[in-house]
Structure 1
Amino acid sequence: MPPNATHYLQMCDLGIFGAYKHHLQTLRRNNTHDTPEQVGVLAVSALHQAMVPINLFNSFRKSGLQQKWNAQRRSYIEICHDSFIAVLEAIEADKLLLKYTGTKQTRKRAKKPSGYINEEEMLQFDCLGRFN
Protein backbone atom coordinates (compact mmCIF):
# COMPACT_ATOMS: atom_id res chain seq x y z
CA MET A 1 0.00 0.00 0.00
CA PRO A 2 1.21 3.52 -0.64
CA PRO A 3 2.15 5.74 2.29
CA ASN A 4 -0.76 7.27 4.20
CA ALA A 5 -3.29 4.86 2.66
CA THR A 6 -3.87 2.70 5.72
CA HIS A 7 -6.56 5.11 6.89
CA TYR A 8 -8.84 3.60 4.22
CA LEU A 9 -8.86 0.44 6.32
CA GLN A 10 -9.43 2.13 9.67
CA MET A 11 -13.06 3.10 9.95
CA CYS A 12 -12.76 4.98 13.24
CA ASP A 13 -9.99 7.18 11.83
CA LEU A 14 -12.23 8.18 8.96
CA GLY A 15 -15.40 9.10 10.79
CA ILE A 16 -15.19 9.07 14.56
CA PHE A 17 -11.84 10.50 15.65
CA GLY A 18 -11.99 13.53 13.36
CA ALA A 19 -15.51 14.39 14.49
CA TYR A 20 -14.51 13.83 18.12
CA LYS A 21 -11.53 16.19 17.84
CA HIS A 22 -13.66 18.81 16.10
CA HIS A 23 -16.41 18.68 18.74
CA LEU A 24 -13.89 18.73 21.59
CA GLN A 25 -12.14 21.81 20.21
CA THR A 26 -15.49 23.53 19.70
CA LEU A 27 -16.50 22.85 23.30
CA ARG A 28 -13.13 23.90 24.71
CA ARG A 29 -13.01 27.12 22.70
CA ASN A 30 -15.01 29.00 25.34
CA ASN A 31 -13.18 27.53 28.33
CA THR A 32 -9.79 29.14 28.78
CA HIS A 33 -9.01 27.61 32.19
CA ASP A 34 -10.02 23.97 32.28
CA THR A 35 -9.86 21.79 35.33
CA PRO A 36 -9.40 18.02 34.89
CA GLU A 37 -13.06 17.54 35.80
CA GLN A 38 -14.22 20.00 33.15
CA VAL A 39 -12.03 18.40 30.49
CA GLY A 40 -13.51 14.99 31.35
CA VAL A 41 -17.07 16.30 31.07
CA LEU A 42 -16.28 18.03 27.77
CA ALA A 43 -14.57 14.89 26.42
CA VAL A 44 -17.58 12.71 27.20
CA SER A 45 -19.91 15.28 25.65
CA ALA A 46 -17.77 15.44 22.50
CA LEU A 47 -17.70 11.64 22.31
CA HIS A 48 -21.50 11.49 22.46
CA GLN A 49 -21.70 14.06 19.66
CA ALA A 50 -19.20 12.16 17.51
CA MET A 51 -20.73 8.70 17.99
CA VAL A 52 -23.99 9.40 16.18
CA PRO A 53 -25.12 6.64 13.80
CA ILE A 54 -24.66 8.75 10.67
CA ASN A 55 -20.94 9.19 11.46
CA LEU A 56 -20.56 5.43 11.93
CA PHE A 57 -22.29 4.63 8.64
CA ASN A 58 -20.31 7.27 6.77
CA SER A 59 -16.99 6.05 8.18
CA PHE A 60 -17.67 2.56 6.82
CA ARG A 61 -18.78 4.03 3.50
CA LYS A 62 -15.58 6.10 3.21
CA SER A 63 -13.49 3.00 3.82
CA GLY A 64 -15.12 1.16 0.92
CA LEU A 65 -17.63 -0.98 2.81
CA GLN A 66 -21.30 -0.53 1.97
CA GLN A 67 -24.24 -1.84 3.93
CA LYS A 68 -26.65 -3.88 1.79
CA TRP A 69 -29.91 -5.65 2.56
CA ASN A 70 -30.99 -9.06 1.26
CA ALA A 71 -34.55 -10.30 0.57
CA GLN A 72 -35.00 -11.39 4.20
CA ARG A 73 -34.11 -7.82 5.32
CA ARG A 74 -30.79 -8.95 6.81
CA SER A 75 -27.86 -6.62 6.63
CA TYR A 76 -24.53 -7.55 5.08
CA ILE A 77 -21.40 -5.71 3.98
CA GLU A 78 -20.26 -5.39 0.39
CA ILE A 79 -16.88 -4.05 -0.70
CA CYS A 80 -17.11 -1.04 -3.01
CA HIS A 81 -14.14 -1.35 -5.34
CA ASP A 82 -14.57 2.23 -6.60
CA SER A 83 -13.26 3.49 -3.26
CA PHE A 84 -9.94 1.80 -3.86
CA ILE A 85 -9.35 3.14 -7.37
CA ALA A 86 -7.36 6.13 -6.10
CA VAL A 87 -5.19 3.86 -3.95
CA LEU A 88 -4.56 1.43 -6.80
CA GLU A 89 -3.73 4.27 -9.20
CA ALA A 90 -1.22 5.66 -6.69
CA ILE A 91 0.42 2.25 -6.37
CA GLU A 92 0.72 1.86 -10.13
CA ALA A 93 1.92 5.44 -10.69
CA ASP A 94 4.65 5.23 -8.05
CA LYS A 95 5.49 1.59 -8.85
CA LEU A 96 5.64 0.93 -5.13
CA LEU A 97 5.18 -2.78 -5.52
CA LEU A 98 8.52 -2.97 -7.34
CA LYS A 99 10.39 -0.85 -4.80
CA TYR A 100 10.11 -3.28 -1.90
CA THR A 101 13.38 -4.72 -0.74
CA GLY A 102 14.03 -6.86 2.26
CA THR A 103 15.92 -5.78 5.31
CA LYS A 104 19.62 -5.21 4.86
CA GLN A 105 21.97 -7.35 6.89
CA THR A 106 24.40 -4.94 8.50
CA ARG A 107 26.57 -7.30 10.51
CA LYS A 108 27.40 -10.92 10.09
CA ARG A 109 27.71 -12.80 13.33
CA ALA A 110 28.97 -16.26 13.96
CA LYS A 111 26.88 -18.76 15.84
CA LYS A 112 27.63 -19.02 19.49
CA PRO A 113 28.39 -22.53 20.66
CA SER A 114 25.74 -22.20 23.38
CA GLY A 115 22.77 -21.65 21.09
CA TYR A 116 21.19 -19.26 18.66
CA ILE A 117 22.00 -15.59 18.48
CA ASN A 118 18.90 -14.22 16.82
CA GLU A 119 15.22 -14.82 16.73
CA GLU A 120 15.07 -15.56 12.99
CA GLU A 121 17.28 -18.62 13.31
CA MET A 122 15.28 -19.82 16.28
CA LEU A 123 12.02 -19.41 14.35
CA GLN A 124 13.44 -21.38 11.40
CA PHE A 125 14.27 -24.28 13.67
CA ASP A 126 10.96 -23.88 15.49
CA CYS A 127 9.14 -24.34 12.16
CA LEU A 128 10.99 -27.61 11.71
CA GLY A 129 9.66 -28.80 15.05
CA ARG A 130 13.01 -28.94 16.83
CA PHE A 131 11.80 -27.18 19.97
CA ASN A 132 8.62 -29.20 20.52
Structure 2
Amino acid sequence: MDLEWEQVIVDAADPVALGRWWAAALDWVVVDDAPDEYEIRPAPDRLPGLLFVRVPESKQVKNRLHLDFRPQDQRAEVDRLLSLGARHADIGQGEQPWVTLTDPEGNEFCVLARRRT
Protein backbone atom coordinates (compact mmCIF):
# COMPACT_ATOMS: atom_id res chain seq x y z
CA MET A 1 0.00 0.00 0.00
CA ASP A 2 1.34 3.43 -0.91
CA LEU A 3 -0.95 5.58 1.18
CA GLU A 4 0.54 7.97 3.73
CA TRP A 5 -1.53 9.88 6.29
CA GLU A 6 -0.53 13.51 5.72
CA GLN A 7 -2.77 15.53 8.02
CA VAL A 8 -6.14 16.11 9.59
CA ILE A 9 -7.99 19.20 8.34
CA VAL A 10 -9.72 21.32 10.98
CA ASP A 11 -12.25 23.95 9.89
CA ALA A 12 -11.79 27.17 11.82
CA ALA A 13 -13.15 30.68 12.06
CA ASP A 14 -9.62 31.83 12.97
CA PRO A 15 -7.05 29.27 11.72
CA VAL A 16 -4.08 31.13 13.18
CA ALA A 17 -5.52 31.44 16.71
CA LEU A 18 -6.80 27.86 16.75
CA GLY A 19 -3.58 26.51 15.25
CA ARG A 20 -1.52 28.35 17.86
CA TRP A 21 -3.73 26.94 20.60
CA TRP A 22 -3.25 23.36 19.38
CA ALA A 23 0.49 23.92 18.87
CA ALA A 24 0.73 24.96 22.53
CA ALA A 25 -1.53 22.14 23.70
CA LEU A 26 0.47 19.47 21.83
CA ASP A 27 3.90 21.14 21.97
CA TRP A 28 4.09 20.84 18.17
CA VAL A 29 5.89 23.08 15.68
CA VAL A 30 4.38 25.43 13.12
CA VAL A 31 5.24 24.49 9.52
CA ASP A 32 2.92 26.94 7.71
CA ASP A 33 1.54 30.11 9.25
CA ALA A 34 -0.48 31.57 6.38
CA PRO A 35 -3.59 33.50 7.54
CA ASP A 36 -6.03 31.05 5.90
CA GLU A 37 -4.06 27.81 6.35
CA TYR A 38 -2.07 27.18 9.51
CA GLU A 39 -0.27 23.84 9.81
CA ILE A 40 1.39 22.21 12.81
CA ARG A 41 3.25 18.92 13.15
CA PRO A 42 5.04 16.95 15.87
CA ALA A 43 8.32 17.93 14.14
CA PRO A 44 8.94 19.72 10.82
CA ASP A 45 9.47 16.47 8.90
CA ARG A 46 7.09 14.24 10.89
CA LEU A 47 3.52 13.34 9.88
CA PRO A 48 0.63 13.47 10.35
CA GLY A 49 -0.03 17.12 11.00
CA LEU A 50 -3.04 19.28 11.73
CA LEU A 51 -4.02 21.85 9.10
CA PHE A 52 -6.39 24.61 10.22
CA VAL A 53 -8.34 26.22 7.35
CA ARG A 54 -10.65 29.21 7.38
CA VAL A 55 -14.35 28.53 6.77
CA PRO A 56 -17.19 31.07 6.91
CA GLU A 57 -19.65 28.97 8.92
CA SER A 58 -19.39 28.29 12.64
CA LYS A 59 -19.49 24.86 14.25
CA GLN A 60 -23.10 23.73 14.70
CA VAL A 61 -23.19 20.17 16.09
CA LYS A 62 -21.00 17.56 17.77
CA ASN A 63 -17.97 16.54 15.70
CA ARG A 64 -18.28 13.29 13.74
CA LEU A 65 -14.55 12.78 14.17
CA HIS A 66 -12.48 13.71 17.21
CA LEU A 67 -9.00 13.19 18.61
CA ASP A 68 -8.18 11.10 21.69
CA PHE A 69 -5.06 11.68 23.79
CA ARG A 70 -3.59 9.39 26.45
CA PRO A 71 -1.27 11.25 28.84
CA GLN A 72 0.71 9.78 31.72
CA ASP A 73 -1.27 11.88 34.21
CA GLN A 74 -4.85 12.54 33.07
CA ARG A 75 -5.75 15.01 35.83
CA ALA A 76 -2.60 17.11 35.34
CA GLU A 77 -3.10 17.17 31.57
CA VAL A 78 -6.77 18.14 31.84
CA ASP A 79 -5.83 20.95 34.24
CA ARG A 80 -3.11 22.14 31.83
CA LEU A 81 -5.46 22.12 28.84
CA LEU A 82 -8.14 23.97 30.81
CA SER A 83 -5.56 26.61 31.75
CA LEU A 84 -4.83 27.07 28.01
CA GLY A 85 -8.52 27.70 27.30
CA ALA A 86 -10.10 24.27 26.79
CA ARG A 87 -13.56 23.74 28.28
CA HIS A 88 -15.36 20.70 29.66
CA ALA A 89 -17.97 19.28 27.27
CA ASP A 90 -21.07 17.20 27.82
CA ILE A 91 -21.91 15.39 24.60
CA GLY A 92 -23.99 12.73 26.31
CA GLN A 93 -21.03 10.56 27.26
CA GLY A 94 -22.21 10.08 30.84
CA GLU A 95 -19.79 8.90 33.51
CA GLN A 96 -16.67 7.59 31.74
CA PRO A 97 -12.96 7.13 32.51
CA TRP A 98 -12.08 9.77 29.89
CA VAL A 99 -12.62 13.52 30.02
CA THR A 100 -14.25 15.26 27.07
CA LEU A 101 -13.06 18.79 26.40
CA THR A 102 -13.44 21.34 23.62
CA ASP A 103 -10.84 23.60 22.08
CA PRO A 104 -11.51 27.38 21.92
CA GLU A 105 -13.72 26.95 18.81
CA GLY A 106 -15.79 24.13 20.31
CA ASN A 107 -14.16 21.06 18.70
CA GLU A 108 -14.44 18.07 21.01
CA PHE A 109 -11.50 15.89 22.00
CA CYS A 110 -10.94 13.36 24.77
CA VAL A 111 -8.23 12.95 27.37
CA LEU A 112 -8.09 9.27 28.22
CA ALA A 113 -7.10 7.65 31.49
CA ARG A 114 -3.70 6.01 31.77
CA ARG A 115 -3.57 2.67 29.94
CA ARG A 116 -3.87 -0.33 32.23
CA THR A 117 -0.93 -2.71 32.07
Asked if TM exceeds 0.5, the reply is no
TM-score normalised by structure 1 residue count: 0.21
Q: Which has the higher strand share?
A: 2
TM-score normalised by structure 2 residue count: 0.23
Bigger radius of gyration among the two: 1
